[in-house]
Structure 1
Amino acid sequence: MMAPVPRFIAVLDVGKTNVKLVVHDLETGGDVFVRTRPNVVIDAPPYPHYDVEGMWAFFLDTLKEAATNQRIDALSFTTHGATFALLAGNQLALPVLDYEFRGPDALDDAYVAARPSFAESFTPRLPGGLNAGAQLYWQARSYPDAFAKVTAIVPYPQYWAFRFTGVLASEPTSLGVHTDLWAPKRRDFSSFANAEGWNRLFAPLRSAFDRLGTVTADIAARTGLSPDTPVYCGIHDSNASLLPHLLTHKPPFTVLSTGTWAIIFAVGGDASALDAGRDGLCNVDAFGNPVPSSRFMGGREFDLLTEGHAKKPTPEDVRTVLDGCILVRPTFVPGCGPFPAGKGSWSVEPTSLTAGVRTAAVSLYLALVARAAMEVAGAAGPIVVEGPFGRDTLFAEALQQLTGRPVLIAAGATGTSTGAAMLALGPDGRPSLPPDRPIGGGYDLTGLDIYAGQWTG
């Protein structure tokens, strides 16, 4: 007799900005429990690193809280990319490095000579630790004694799975996200990872859908979870957002997954035309398939440009921006996105603008950057926006007009958690989700094409 499919999945969701514990109901497609805390970076020797013990305490406490009043049938994990844990036995050999730390740049010349070609890895050279291979390269040479003790290299989602189960695993969505460590077409470690000997240190390859085991007896005692609670392997967060769409749409289509990063997935696209110089790259989906992609730091730029005072624009605010040609030009997070060398600027002094006008200008700016990023990825078909940008009506309407393609808003607001929960359905599962919704026409965008021409001119 087959075991029943789990219904209530507790997802440990580690984003770059926030950490969440979500209990997702696979039957209704909704979340029945959500707790959030900031993702804290500890700026202390040996280098800036994540507060994994603070997260661990948060996860155990909130799991105990959730399990008190809510059935939990399984655990799953999703995290941001560009992050690996270096284990010496059951402990960290070195702290989990913050990928925004620029220390690895000190070895840039040597790393550029060692890293694989774009044709093999489909990975552009990115600053700081955004190429996880650069992190490992720098750590191995900067802390040779500690690195020599490493017994396993584990992607970040599987690090958390290991702490709950004691089972070591690696998984391709994290290995394949601009790491230089994976060859997507070959579905294997890159020549660079092999040359460094790291392929022998990576934990055994597993599918994101795999059931790794059950929670340990200690975890069950500390949280109140049943000792036979299954634990799934886990998945990179943008690929978690992509999974529901892979299960419900036919290619070609485009997914714009938004958060700190905005990731474009050109499902059904051709990777051969990707431009490495404009943040074109391949992701690897939950099934192990390469997906042409591009990125920009959309959520971070929105926060920087609105300075924490975002306000939903009125129709009058939007007309003020378009009629006055108030422009925001890229880019305010240097080194990434379709304009990596751009030096961000405003056509007016932003402090002179009302909050609504300023927010309108920022939303239009991000729609223009998104269009450019989609061109880099070779995106086609309808566009599905998921995550926080799906609540930005002006952004969605502008993107639809700029691209001439229908824009749909994904059902639900927690795409990463939803996708990670769906791992429990298995690779042939069919999610229960409300349909994506088309956008309305609430803003008068007359003159947007002229405005866009001024922006690119």
Structure 2
Amino acid sequence: MPKAVAAIFDVGKTNKKLFLIDENYNIVYERSARFVETKDEDGEPCENLDSLCSSVYDSLNQVMQLKEFEIRAINFSTYGASFVYLDENGEPLTPLYNYLKEYPAGLKNQFYETYGGEEKISLETASPILGSLNSGMQLYRLKKEKPEVFAKIKFALHLPQYLSYLITGKAVADITSIGCHTQLWDFNKNTYHDWVLAEQLEQKFGEFTPADSSLKTLFEGLEVKVGVGLHDSSAALIPYLANFSTPFILLSTGTWCISLNPFNQEILKADELKQDCLCYMHYKGKAVKASRIFAGYEHELQLKRIAEHFDRAAYIFKHLKFNPAMILNLANKIPENAILQTEFFANSAFPDRDLNQFKTAEEAYHQLIFDLVKQQVYSLKLILNQGVKRIFVDGGFGKNAIYMHLLATAVPDIEVYASSVSQATAIGTALSINDAWNSNPAPTDMIQLKYYSAIQRSVQL
């Protein structure tokens, strides 16, 4: 008897993956693809939309031939801030512009002068000023610079919804995409922002549809339930929301370290926005207050500096054990180290440190992590609110014992866990439509946790 599964596409900037996930949330099949980027009309690199569409169709056709699986549902998660503009025949009108594309200063100034200034728009839309990374600004640019193309747009769909459209033929808008640093959504009024209505952009969006809904669709003669698609950051949060009701913060660590608090719906303040706070939306339509720092990038940069200074290979630090005695010695050497629990900084102090003051590469590395943790706690406290009992750390720093022990020491009143969910984004995307394809409730053991306690020493760290 074939195994019931959901087919989940997880589309990143680099890797495009298809997973088959069974009713117990085991990944039973996986395939991945990478495409060579193409260029837009300005010569800027961008996603090869033709290759992506062909891959979706070809991959689905292939897995539907596998007799051991019964595909009951299909859903999509992708990176955000990317629009596909469709004509009345459902054909793309433009390349899939890169969200890193430079935004013209004159047009940017014109927009904010017209609609009340950067601070007003940022506060109301919970979006830092990010140029093309504010996807609403991409659509505004198209209207102003290429009105003839804009006039032909029947639908402007964020990438997850476009991939769903490829299967269903139904154009929809989804809150996890519309509500994430797009400058399209007014978080105070819980609707499209006034400027969107003034520019009549909302007429180009699909029908607003709940993120946990699905549409019964015939694909290649097979009846399946197809989800509306999700922004990948929101999807990765879903397994945690499904497994834990006690308030928590998810600290997702990679190049960027993003702290997500789905239990904080307080309106963003101007000073928080200036410190790179923003709001995501989780799939049930609630704001998720978030802060972020470029700590993973900083870690790699400074690790290289340490390795070169001490003539050591960088990879040896990957599994370096935590040495509490070294931390205590550093507290005597560097005075501000002695107050880890009370004094935090917006930036890491390590780039300005003289490496000659450290006896060994290991000592320098412990100090690097110490400084990064001070910066991380500063970022965490921007979104921390009363009632949060746990911090879950996933990604690279969750595997770093030095980082985890120091973080636990810095926030002694909060439980700190290294957490991991195999393919959290794909699992979350399947969970969002669980009831449409799965006869079982969400399992409660999909997240692996490792608890870290504070340094047990009679010294104030």
TM-score bracket, shorter-length normalisation = 0.7 to 0.9
- Structure 1 gap ranges (5+): 1-5, 221-225, 328-337, 451-457
2:55 maps to amino acid = F
Instruction: Find the partner of 2:431 among 422, 435, 442.
Output: 422
**Cα distance per residue 1:335-385 (max 9 Å; x no partner):** xxx959x999352579x9999778766655554443222112234320122
The answer for the alignment partner of 2:341 in structure 1 is none
The answer for the alignment partner of 1:335 in structure 2 is none
The CA deviation at 1:440 is 5.0
Instruction: Find the partner of 2:250 among 252, 255, 264.
Output: 255
Instruction: Find the partner of 1:409 among 415, 418, 429.
Output: 418
- Structure 2 gap ranges (5+): 305-312, 335-344
The yes-or-no answer on 1:431 pairing with 2:442 is yes
The answer for the alignment partner of 2:92 in structure 1 is 92
The answer for the alignment partner of 1:33 in structure 2 is 29
2:233 maps to amino acid = S
Instruction: Find the partner of 1:124 among 128, 132, 148.
Output: 128
**Cα distance per residue 1:267-295 (max 9 Å; x no partner):** 32242354111112222211111222222
CA distance in structure 1 between the partners assigned to 2:152 and 2:226 by the alignment: 28
Range with bigger deviation, 234-243 or 173-182 = 234-243
The yes-or-no answer on 1:168 pairing with 2:188 is no
1:12 maps to amino acid = F
CA distance in structure 2 between the partners assigned to 1:56 and 1:181 by the alignment: 26
**Cα distance per residue 1:218-251 (max 9 Å; x no partner):** xx3xxxxx62122111111111111222222224
CA distance in structure 1 between the partners assigned to 2:143 and 2:359 by the alignment: 49
Q: Per the alignment, in what secondary structure is the counterpart of residue 272 of structure 1?
A: coil
CA distance in structure 2 between the partners assigned to 1:318 and 1:38 by the alignment: 43
Q: Per the alignment, in what secondary structure is the counterpart of residue 208 of structure 2?
A: coil
The yes-or-no answer on 1:137 pairing with 2:140 is yes
CA distance in structure 2 between the partners assigned to 1:14 and 1:359 by the alignment: 34
Change (3 A) 1:86 1:118: same
Supply the RMSD in Å over aligned alpha carbons. 3.7
1:226-375 alignment to 2 at 5 Å? Answer: 227-272=222-267, 274=269, 275-302=272-299, 310=315, 311-315=317-321, 339=346, 345=351, 347-348=353-354, 364=370, 366-375=372-381
- C-alpha contact 2:370 2:403 (8 A) present in aligned 1: yes
Q: Per the alignment, in what secondary structure is the counterpart of residue 291 of structure 2?
A: strand
CA distance in structure 1 between the partners assigned to 2:61 and 2:419 by the alignment: 31
**Cα distance per residue 1:126-165 (max 9 Å; x no partner):** 2x32211222222322333222211111122101111122
The CA deviation at 1:417 is 0.7
TM-score by length of 2: 0.78
- C-alpha contact 1:26 1:422 (8 A) present in aligned 2: no
Q: Per the alignment, in what secondary structure is the counterpart of residue 247 of structure 1?
A: helix
The CA deviation at 1:318 is 8.5
Change (3 A) 1:364 1:202: farther
CA distance in structure 2 between the partners assigned to 1:87 and 1:442 by the alignment: 53
The CA deviation at 1:441 is 5.3
Change (3 A) 1:267 1:423: closer
* Pair member with larger Rg: 2
Change (3 A) 1:343 1:439: closer
The answer for the alignment partner of 1:109 in structure 2 is 109
CA distance in structure 2 between the partners assigned to 1:63 and 1:102 by the alignment: 35
Instruction: Find the partner of 1:214 among 217, 234, 243.
Output: 217
The answer for the alignment partner of 1:152 in structure 2 is 155
TM-score by length of 1: 0.79
CA distance in structure 2 between the partners assigned to 1:278 and 1:82 by the alignment: 20
- C-alpha contact 1:172 1:284 (8 A) present in aligned 2: yes
The CA deviation at 1:81 is 1.8
The yes-or-no answer on 1:52 pairing with 2:49 is yes
The CA deviation at 1:210 is 1.4
The CA deviation at 1:65 is 4.7
1:236 maps to amino acid = H
- C-alpha contact 2:173 2:205 (8 A) present in aligned 1: yes
The yes-or-no answer on 1:201 pairing with 2:204 is yes
What is the percentage of aligned positions where both structures have the same residue? Answer: 24
The yes-or-no answer on 1:82 pairing with 2:81 is yes
- C-alpha contact 2:417 2:452 (8 A) present in aligned 1: no
The CA deviation at 1:317 is 8.0
Q: Per the alignment, in what secondary structure is the counterpart of residue 431 of structure 2?
A: helix
The answer for the alignment partner of 2:310 in structure 1 is none
The CA deviation at 1:198 is 0.5
Q: How many pairs were matched up?
A: 423
CA distance in structure 2 between the partners assigned to 1:64 and 1:263 by the alignment: 36
Instruction: Find the partner of 1:386 among 394, 399, 403.
Output: 394
Q: Per the alignment, in what secondary structure is the counterpart of residue 98 of structure 2?
A: coil
